Structure 1
Amino acid sequence: MVSWLCSKCGYTLEADTPPEECPSCKSDCSFVDNSCYTPDCEGKPNDPQIKGED
């Protein structure tokens, strides 16, 4: 399972794929994969604010 973060309200949920509509804010939002926040997770961090070493 992947942990998904709503780009609008910050709601997180675990699912294989992100939903079409956020269960919390009921908006058509984009979801960000926030499963891994370590720079060496699969080579790159999923959060653009975390700087990994290339």
Structure 2
Amino acid sequence: MTVWKCSECGHTIQEAVPPETCPSCRQKCEFVDASCYTPDCGGPDSGNINPDIAKEHKK
């Protein structure tokens, strides 16, 4: 499963595809793939969030 992060509120959700509407802010948002793809944070099967993307927030 992919970890998706809402570009508006920063909410993360683990799904195969991102939802059309964020379950947290209830907005139609762009979702960013926040999955970890490096061994430092556990790799793609870990379900962990990429720490660089976790720090980023639009607001």
- Per the TM superposition, whether the score is higher than 0.5 is yes
Identical amino acids, percent of aligned pairs:
54
Q: Which letter does structure 2 place at the counterpart of 1:25?
A: C
Cα deviation for residue 36 of structure 1 reads 1.6
Distance of 1:6 and 1:27 partners within structure 2: 9
Question: Unaligned 5+ residue runs, structure 1?
Answer: 48-54
Runs of 4+ in 1 over 6 A off after TM superposition: none
* Structure 2 partner of 1:30: 30
Question: Which amino acid in structure 2 is aligned with residue 29 of structure 1?
Answer: C
Within a 5 Å distance, the mapping from 1:1-40 to structure 2 comes to: 1-36=1-36, 38=38
**Could you tell me how far 1:37 is from its partner in structure 2?**
5.8
TM-score (norm 2): 0.62
Cα deviation digits, residues 20-50 of structure 1 (max 9, x gap): 0000000000000000263xx7xxx8x5xxx
**In structure 2, what is the Cα distance between the partners aligned to 1:37 and 1:11?**
19
Q: Normalising by structure 1, what TM-score?
A: 0.68
Q: Where does the alignment leave 5 or more consecutive residues of structure 2 unmatched?
A: 44-49, 54-59
Q: Give the greater-gyration-radius structure (CA).
A: 1
The alignment covers a number of residue pairs equal to 46
